Amino acid sequence: MTAASPPPPLLFDGPPVDLARLARRVLWTTVGLIVLLALADVVVNWLEAIDAEAAQKLCNTANEQSIPTWFSATQFVLVGLAGLLAAWAVRRRNGESALRAGCLVVGFFFIFLGLDDATELHERLGTIFANMHGGEEAQESYGWQRFVLPVYLVVGVVGLVLVGPGLQRRGLLRWFLVGGLLMAFAQGLDYLEGRDSFDPWAKETAGAWGVDKYDITHPILMLEELSEMLGVTFIGQAFLRLLARTLDGQRLSLVGPP
């Protein structure tokens, strides 16, 4: 009886890469960068260690044109690419169609979110939608949420239903769930910040505590952005660890075959 031949390598032969170790390094490096971004915001803006307005804007976590925003957009795109790579590896290894489809859905969605973060696309679409329908929504800076959040919710549920069983079998579902909950928490804060009652509440709380309104609103904005970054980090870990287990024993190379 002839022994079965081993499966072909998923990638071209090259130097071995420990993907599990790489995933751990990515985790701690990303968390470290997020902590540094938070500290920079606190020191430069809250403590006003640097008086230059340009430096304050660059370090402001809540500013759409800042280093933290660039980091967040880049992170979305990279995690999305990790999801697409995981989908490709799953297809080549065992062909779990639901898991592969879920990785594709979440991967493409995260790439879109990265582009959206960089261009403020959803805010612009929401403004157009609100203006078309008139009313007070057109005047609200966060009116886009009424248009975008239901779409985000549907994509999130579909992605979870598709990837959930496959990740659970590999002990990776907790990464995806914690990441999703952190992102949902961030969106919840974003929604509360956009309500008409938020600004009066912030002023009243600041007056009761004897501080500036900025001392109330900015920590909340920071918490929102940092929660989203951590959530994306954990979902990225689900994809990277899925990739590591799917490619177990394979050799990776960035060079194609001769």
Q: Where do runs of H (alpha helix) occur along the chain?
A: 19-41, 53-59, 67-93, 97-119, 121-133, 145-169, 173-194, 198-209, 214-246
Considering the domain boundaries, does residue 13 fall inside one?
no
Considering the domain boundaries, does residue 18 fall inside one?
no
Instruction: Name the domain count of the chain.
Output: 1
User: Count of alpha carbons within 13 Å of 53, Cβ hemisphere only?
Assistant: 0
Region 6-27: mean pLDDT is: 69
Region 140-161: mean pLDDT is: 76
Considering the domain boundaries, does residue 77 fall inside one?
yes
Q: Greater confidence, 82 or 136?
A: 82
Whether the model clears a pTM of 0.75, i.e. scores above it, the answer is yes
Give residue 139's pLDDT band: very low, low, confident or very high (50, 70, 90): very low
Of all residues in the chain, the percent with pLDDT exceeding 90 is 51
Considering the domain boundaries, does residue 219 fall inside one?
yes
Q: Greater confidence, 247 or 67?
A: 67
Considering the domain boundaries, does residue 56 fall inside one?
no
Q: Report whether pLDDT(89) > 70.
A: yes
Considering the domain boundaries, does residue 20 fall inside one?
no
Q: What is the pLDDT of residue 51?
A: 84
Q: 99 CB contacts (<8 Å, ≥6 apart)?
A: 87, 90, 162, 163, 165, 166, 167
- Whole domain around residue 235: which residue ranges? 68-246
Whole-angstrom Cα distance, residue 57 to residue 50?
Answer: 11
Name the DSSP letter for residue 13.
S
Q: Report whether pLDDT(12) > 70.
A: no
Give residue 150's pLDDT band: very low, low, confident or very high (50, 70, 90): confident
Q: Report whether pLDDT(111) > 50.
A: yes
For the chain, give the mean pLDDT: 83
Considering the domain boundaries, does residue 235 fall inside one?
yes
Considering the domain boundaries, does residue 238 fall inside one?
yes
Question: Among candidates 177, 176, 178, 116, which has minimal Cα distance to 148?
Answer: 116
Whole-angstrom Cα distance, residue 127 to residue 11?
Answer: 45
Give residue 9's pLDDT band: very low, low, confident or very high (50, 70, 90): very low
Q: Report whether pLDDT(144) > 80.
A: no
